[in-house]
Amino acid sequence: MQIDVTHNVFKLAQVFTISRGSRTDAKVLTVKVSDGGHVGWGECVPYARYDETMESVEAEICALPSDITRASLAELLEPGAARNAVDCALWDLEAKQAGKPVWELAGLPKPLPEITAYTLSLDTPEKMQAQAAENAFRPLLKIKLGTPDDMPRLEAVRRGAPNARIIIDANEGWTADVYAELAPHLVGLGVELVEQPLPAGADDALRDIERPLPVCADESCHDRSSLAKLKGKYDVVNIKLDKTGGLTEALALKEEAIAQGYGVMVGCMVGSSLAMAPATLLAQGVLFTDLDGPLLLAEDRDCPLRFDDAGVHPPETALWG
């Protein structure tokens, strides 16, 4: 088995801002695994929030033995971006070796399109209203918030897109008091969910307050080992492949989360269609799908994912799976 890693940069269609900062491009690592006759592909997005850099993640991948398997990978690497890219590349390789799609190898139903959220980045109320109006045709909008001035922004978005469903992502930018103050107003504006309102290290306060607006664990949920700490604090978990360390653990986390009574959201980092492709299998039938990474790009992979009124479609085999 040969493993190769390359750095890729995809320009964004516009500046993308969250409460932690702004970016103009998506920096990703592409992993290629080959057995000499077949090639599998995977992608990951190293994330500074988890102390990952392009260089550190590449080093983890390059240190793997040549006889790596998905089973041994879980023992050698912690959940995170490095394991994700390799795990997904190995799934792709196995599918090509078997001549069967990944969904069939994993024992899943044949995947169908899923409606995905479209993310509006953090900006002034006026600019966010303009963004919302431009994307008012989309059935589900996700709003990046997490500042002391969030209500004017959300009200502006609702004016711009009066009929869209809305979820919001506070990116750890609130306190329990801010959530308690805003939640009733957000419900009144038709908001259906808030992601990670409190910092992951300070989210115990969620146990002590009413949650009229359902709360989703993002930074607080990585893999199955996270679930025990979420009880009584969260209603939904956001599963991202770059957090779980790949599709293998993500599928197991989804099953266990549902068994424990959580709703499931499937999200993404800002990456290309190759990063989203495995997650389209995971997103089947979940509460919310947020796989809009390619829609935020000015450029993408060859054979990109297809987005239309039905949602995000599963990948063609020329891309992955």
Task: List the catalytic residues.
Answer: 144, 240
Paired tokens of 76: 């050698």
Pure H helices in 41-171: 54-62, 70-76, 81-98, 102-105, 125-134, 150-160
146, 197, 309 from 89: Cα distances, Å: 35, 33, 29
Q: Could you give the CA distance from residue 44 to residue 242 in angstroms, rounded to a whole number? A: 6
Residue type for 269, please? M
Paired tokens of 106: 């994993």
Name the DSSP class of 295. G
Q: Could you give the CA distance from residue 170 to residue 172 in angstroms, rounded to a whole number? A: 6
Q: E strands within the chain? A: 2-18, 21-34, 39-44, 118-120, 140-144, 165-169, 191-195, 215-217, 236-239, 263-266, 288-289, 307-308, 311-312
